[in-house]
Structure 1
Amino acid sequence: MSTRRNPGTDIALIAAFAALIAVCALLPAINVAGPVPITLQTFAVLLSGAVLGARRGFLAVLLYVVVGAAGLPVFSGGAAGLGVLAGPTAGYLLGFPLAAGFCGLLVERLPRRTLASAPIIFAAGLLSSALFIHTLGMTGLVLRLDISYADAFDIDKVFWPGDVLKNVAMALVATAVHRAFPDLLGRPQAPVPAAAGA
């Protein structure tokens, strides 16, 4: 028997995670050893996919991007408007919904017992980030700054140590959420075996 989703609950979760991404984007940066500070924005993006699944995670992040493009100051540093999507960081923003959706797709396909495995969820998040956030982010840098992919990689690579740390935190939080709410993804329940006859 499958677990039916409540549309009202879905909408509330999508809105809540979009708000979480905005909060993480607006929090002060964490200064570490290196030239680029860490923000928590991508932590919340990948957590949306890992916790909500592909469809709801994608929609939560898409809602965040649309709200920011519409003019609410929810992007990093309080930026807002369509101009941000025309700037050098546009590729990263456009990669966010795809990364959340892909991470959710991977997590949805894990066996229930594996949802409690933080290393596997970490790998799903890191792969999603590499395929979409970093790849599209570098493409945006190339197109908007008129630089080579080698130069874009030099800019992007300084984000990787922080990305690894954020994915560790994301995996730990997602694992705890799935342990507390094992039916959150709304996947089919295992059939209950019939009682043996006397």
Structure 2
Amino acid sequence: MTMSETPAPSTTDARPAPQRSTTTDIALIAAFAALIAALTVIGGIPVGGAGVDITLQTFGVLLAGCVLGPVRGFLAVSVYLVLGAIGLPVFSGHSGGLAPFSGVSAGYLLSFPFAALLAGYLVKYVLGGLRTRAAFVFIAAMAGTVLNHVCGTLWMMHFLDVSLSQAIKFDAPFWVGDIIKSLVVALVAAEVHRAFPRLLARR
């Protein structure tokens, strides 16, 4: 083989993709954290007898999990909680700081990252190619919703020193809104995965 026939060194091992992937991941996490904050500060509707407002928080939380997957969804919601914990008014009622983490709605608040994690895990690892079908994504979103309600109800029972049945009554008014939010999440997430089929391919 002559010098001119010597194959050129392969450039496939340069692998700049992981750096781009990490940058994209950070951007998506930050964007969804900001989205959850924006959805929350739009304003809440007080319902029930426990002093907990209905907001679009859970919509943003479940959307983060169903669109970004378990890890990035968990991180996006965690960043949102950290922003609130350091004092930014991104929680219900334009509140911030550590007080909401020990108030009547703390159970809902603290379960948010895990609700996103569960919904994202189901969408990415259980649904697979079915993630482009809203009916199946809805099931994943509802799993996150159930986890959120269970944690919120148990915390209210402890915080208000009431029976489980009374805490369930306090929680009941939130179900209709959260089912609707889960349905919208499913419709949006399914369309996103149809448009960007490799969104969950890397991580």
Residue 105 of structure 2 corresponds to 89
Residue 180 of structure 1 corresponds to 195
Amino acid corresponding to residue 186 of structure 2 in structure 1? A
Residue 122 of structure 2 corresponds to 106
Residue 155 of structure 2 corresponds to 140
Counterpart selection for 1:127 from 129, 137, 143: 143
- State the number of aligned residues: 183
Residue 27 of structure 1 pairs with residue 42 of structure 2: yes
Unaligned runs of 5+ in 1: 189-198
- Which has the higher relative contact order, 1 or 2, with Cα contacts under 8 A spaced 6 or more apart? 1
Amino acid corresponding to residue 43 of structure 1 in structure 2? F
Residue 66 of structure 1 corresponds to 82
Residue 166 of structure 2 corresponds to 151
Counterpart selection for 1:76 from 84, 92, 102: 92
Residue 6 of structure 2 corresponds to none
Residue 195 of structure 1 corresponds to none
Shifted more, 90-99 versus 133-142: the winner is 133-142
Question: How far 1:139 moved relative to its partner?
Answer: 1.5
Separation in structure 2 between the aligned mates of residue 135 and residue 111 of structure 1, nearest angstrom: 24
Distance 1:90 1:81, change over 3 A: same
Distance 1:133 1:107, change over 3 A: same
For residues 174-194 of structure 1, give each alpha carbon's deviation from its aligned partner in whole angstroms, at most 9, with x where no partner exists.
011111111111259xxxxxx
Separation in structure 1 between the aligned mates of residue 131 and residue 108 of structure 2, nearest angstrom: 27
Report the identity percentage: 49
Residue 196 of structure 1 corresponds to none
Q: TM-score, normalised by structure 1?
A: 0.86
CA RMSD of aligned residues (A): 2.1
Please tell me whether the aligned partners of residues 53 and 92 of structure 2 are also in contact (alpha carbons under 8 angstroms): no
Q: TM-score, normalised by structure 2?
A: 0.84
Amino acid corresponding to residue 15 of structure 1 in structure 2? A
Unaligned runs of 5+ in 2: 1-16
